Amino acid sequence: MEETTRLNRFDITQTNAAVERLIETTENPRHLYLLHAYNRHRYLEMAGRFEEIFTPEMTVERPVYRFNILDTTTTLNGAEAVKEVYREWTRTAQCIFYTGGDEIVSRKPSAPTHHACPSGRDKARQGHAATVLGR
């Protein structure tokens, strides 16, 4: 009997499904604007087109990003700090990620779960066992 291994595969085309469903049912123009901006923001992130996120229509003058990764919280203050992270993700092809488990409500912030693939070098720097391959 042949044994098969079932892999858990994420369908990147579904990463914004929750926000797109909410867009379809939202009537408040302000909420709809925010949802469309959020939807576009996530697609631009995954495409490595982060510079487009920092237009006046897409973000606030001084953005603050908070990341909770492996029990570590990092806060980035200001556009340049945030852009530096996006640059690194794009340079190392880590800008492709899958978001699942979204609970999006247009009247309060969401808390999606992002699934990313950090490099072995990053994992080793954080003290995790990892094999770092040369470039």
77-100: pLDDT as tens digits: 999 999 999 899 888 887 766 666
Split into its structural domains, the chain has a count of: 1
Q: 68 pairs with which residues across the strands?
A: 73
Quick one: average pLDDT of 16-39?
Answer: 90
Write out pLDDT tens, residues 32-58: 998 999 899 989 988 889 999 999 888
Compute the distance between CA of residue 86 and CA of residue 96 in angstroms, rounded to an integer. Answer: 11
Residue 26 belongs to some domain of the structure: yes
Whole-prediction pTM value? 0.64
Range of the domain at 39: 12-125
Residue 134 belongs to some domain of the structure: no
Residue 7 belongs to some domain of the structure: no
Residue 21 belongs to some domain of the structure: yes
Residue 133 belongs to some domain of the structure: no
Residue 27 belongs to some domain of the structure: yes
Residue 2 belongs to some domain of the structure: no
Helices vs. strands in the chain: H and E counts, helices first: 4, 4
